[in-house]
């Protein structure tokens, strides 16, 4: 699998990353083990996780993988801090103390002495300079190799990046992680521009529109799907509305004409969008992963990209002129 530099850093990440949000709940241990082995065999290296995923279960599974023989050097482990589950409630705490405590606990669960990428999971109430000082500390102590932000809007991303660039002793940000897909193009309004200006690699979560872009919900909600589950129905609900149907139908039509699956078309559109370093996916089965891996050697031609741009919100201002729609 092709790898890309994460922003202006020296960290190389696979252009498709494996998300772990559903691990331990929808994805059991034997499946996780096979998914990761298949992913590594295909040349993938980026695993994206967080303390909030399953209340730490996803991180523990990665730790179990490492203890069971998966080579640490084969993985780029990205985790987060500042957003955790405490007492069954979601808590955002980006203070220096909370951030470093989160990291220490993550390292224990992950069974490693460092993470490759450490991200602020969300903008919090603590002063941003305090939050970022925790990241400087982690890098200086060897607990994290690179740092980034997650779920920041454009001005927040630019503020954090500018602060870290102000003094040479601070650790420059390498990435920004944000939801981005054919059903969620808000990132193009400000975040992509901020990432481009500050040389940040963009990690796109839910690149398949939380699963809606696979086309599996075009005729209803399958009983075994995430949209039918008590714990993930809320996650899919925004993309189960009529306004999303035209986009999903367009993806399905393009897939039919190209001899691809809707999931592959959605992935290719996002994977090769400007500033994207890695498209994060969360397959639940090895078969789902195999389908996505089969798209590695493929790419969409410019007219298809332009048509999908148009149906999902209009031209992408950051695309090179060669792939811009003809006017």
Token reading at 89: 């409630």
- Contact call for residues 254 and 309 (beta carbons, < 8 A): no
C-alpha separations of 105 from 99, 123, 143, 220 in Å: 10, 20, 12, 41
Backbone angles phi, psi at 282, to 5 degrees: -130, 60
Distance of alpha carbon 234 from alpha carbon 228, whole angstroms:
10
- Paired strand residues for 81: 120
> If we measure between CA atoms, which residue out of 155, 199, 160, 154 comes closest to residue 178?
154
> If we measure between CA atoms, which residue out of 11, 9, 107 comes closest to residue 59?
107
- Contact call for residues 105 and 76 (beta carbons, < 8 A): no
Task: Return all residues near 292 (Cβ < 8 A) that are at least 6 apart.
Answer: 16, 263, 264, 267, 281, 283
Active-site residue identified among 53, 180, 217, 239 = 53
Q: Among this protein's residues, is 180 annotated catalytic?
A: no
State the catalytic residues: 53
């Amino acid at each position: 699998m092709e790898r890309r530099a994460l922003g202006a850093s020296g960290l190389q990440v696979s252009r498709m990353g494996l998300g772990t949000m559903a691990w331990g709940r929808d994805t059991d241990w034997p499946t996780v083990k096979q998914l990761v082995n298949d992913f590594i065999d295909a040349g993938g290296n980026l695993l994206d996780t967080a303390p909030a995923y399953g209340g730490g279960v996803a991180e523990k599974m990665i730790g179990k993988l490492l203890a069971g023989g998966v080579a640490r050097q084969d993985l780029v482990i990205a985790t987060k801090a500042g957003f955790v589950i405490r007492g069954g409630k979601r808590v955002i705490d980006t203070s220096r103390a909370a951030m470093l405590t989160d990291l220490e606990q993550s390292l224990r669960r992950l069974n490693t002495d460092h993470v490759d990428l450490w991200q602020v999971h969300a903008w919090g109430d603590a002063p941003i300079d305090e939050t970022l000082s925790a990241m400087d500390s982690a890098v200086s102590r060897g607990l994290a190799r690179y740092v980034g932000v997650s779920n920041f809007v454009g001005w927040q991303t630019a503020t954090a990046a500018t602060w870290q660039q102000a003094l040479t002793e601070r650790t420059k940000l390498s990435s920004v992680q944000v939801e981005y897909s054919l059903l969620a193009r808000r990132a193009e309004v400000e975040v992509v521009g901020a990432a481009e200006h500050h040389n940040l690699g963009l990690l796109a979560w839910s690149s398949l529109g939380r699963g809606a872009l696979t086309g599996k919900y075009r005729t209803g909600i399958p009983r075994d799907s995430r949209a039918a589950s008590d714990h993930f129905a809320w996650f899919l609900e925004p993309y189960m509305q009529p306004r999303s149907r035209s986009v999903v139908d367009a993806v399905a039509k393009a897939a039919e004409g190209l001899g691809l699956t809707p999931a592959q078309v959605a992935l290719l559109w996002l994977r090769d969008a400007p500033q994207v370093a890695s498209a994060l996916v969360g397959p639940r089965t090895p078969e789902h992963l195999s389908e996505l891996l089969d798209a590695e050697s493929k790419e969409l031609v410019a007219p298809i990209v332009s048509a999908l741009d148009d149906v999902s919100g209009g031209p992408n201002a950051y695309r090179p002129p060669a792939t811009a729609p003809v006017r």
